[in-house]
Amino acid sequence: EAGVAQSPRYKIIEKRQSVAFWCNPISGHATLYWYQQILGQGPKLLIQFQNNGVVDDSQLPKDRFSAERLKGVDSTLKIQPAKLEDSAVYLCASRRLAGPSVQYFGPGTRLTVT
Amino acid sequence: DQQVKQNSPSLSVQEGRISILNCDYTNSMFDYFLWYKKYPAEGPTFLISISSIKDKNEDGRFTVFLNKSAKHLSLHIVPSQPGDSAVYFCAASARAGGTSYGKLTFGQGTILTVHP
């Protein structure tokens, strides 16, 4: 079974530029999550999708961050415009709709904003 | 408001000895707890979990203990191996109800170094 795929793995942009990250979850996983992990901290949930609907986006800075999962499979997370404090690793995770709350993570995208 | 805390940023252990990683939580609604391991440049990997109906779960060299009254859990690794060197995150979930079903709240992580 293929794991969670993410691209790109690394991205360097200047502040005020825009950037997009892509995630393809494990096949059959209805629930998809985007996390932000700042150096020295644990992952923090940004947004949770169930199929193509948003379940929780309470921690998403909606003035600059947006995410979509149009067909209920892969997802994109966008930042526009980026700020210096957005430098972090962006992790995508997925899990089955039912059963234990075990989430499976992708390798992440390391974003550096200069 | 840090609902899940790992108060030890780092832990150093000799190969073959026991590693004990600790985690405290404050939210009494949490009823499912997980440990993840993370190597550099990789995403977190699920290690072991425990439901609040249990106080111990074991998987090979890894055992998780849950003390609900103290809102404390710990991960024991016996014997520790150099390949166990990684960042360990504990996470908690409130499985029932609400729109955040399955949402994980993570601690800050503990860097484990196992010396040969």
pLDDT in tens, B52-72: 999 999 999 999 999 999 999
Which of A102, A109, A111, A112 to probe the B interface (max B CBs under 10 A)? A102
Q: Say if CB A93 and CB A105 are below 8 A apart.
A: yes
Per-residue burial over A31-44, b = 16 or more CB atoms within 10 Å of its CB, e = otherwise: bbbbbbbeeeebbe
Q: Measure CA B89 to chain center.
A: 5
d(CA A11, CA A82): 12
B104 chain-A contacts, CB cut-off 8 A: 33, 43, 45, 101, 103
Model pLDDT, residue B43: 94
Is A48 in CB contact (< 8 Å) with chain B? yes
Position of tokens 């729109």?
A: B99
Find the range with the poorest average confidence among A39-53, A95-109, B1-15, B33-47: A95-109
pLDDT band at B96 (very low <50, low <70, confident <90, very high): low
Contact B101 A91 (CB under 8 A): no
Mean pLDDT across B6-35? 96
Mean pLDDT across A81-95? 96
d(CA A40, CA A82): 21
B90: exposed, middle or buried (Cβ count in 10 Å: 0-12, 13-18, 19+): buried
Model pLDDT, residue B37: 97
Whether residue A8 has pLDDT greater than 90: yes
Which residue, B82, B74, B81, B84, is CA-closest to B39?
A: B84
Model pLDDT, residue A100: 75
Q: Which residues contact B89 (CB under 8 A, 6 or more apart)?
A: A42, A43, B6, B35, B36, B37, B38, B44, B106, B107, B109
Q: Which residues contact A5 (CB under 8 A, 6 or more apart)?
A: A23, A24, A106
Q: Which residues contact A12 (CB under 8 A, 6 or more apart)?
A: A111, A112, A113, A114
Mean model confidence pLDDT for chain A: 94
Model pLDDT, residue B72: 97
Position of tokens 């999708």?
A: A49
Position of tokens 């996390």?
A: A35
d(CA A69, CA A22): 10
Q: Which residue of B has its CA nearest to A5?
A: B43
Model pLDDT, residue B100: 54
Model pLDDT, residue B102: 75
Q: Which residues contact B87 (CB under 8 A, 6 or more apart)?
A: B37, B38, B39, B109, B110, B111, B112
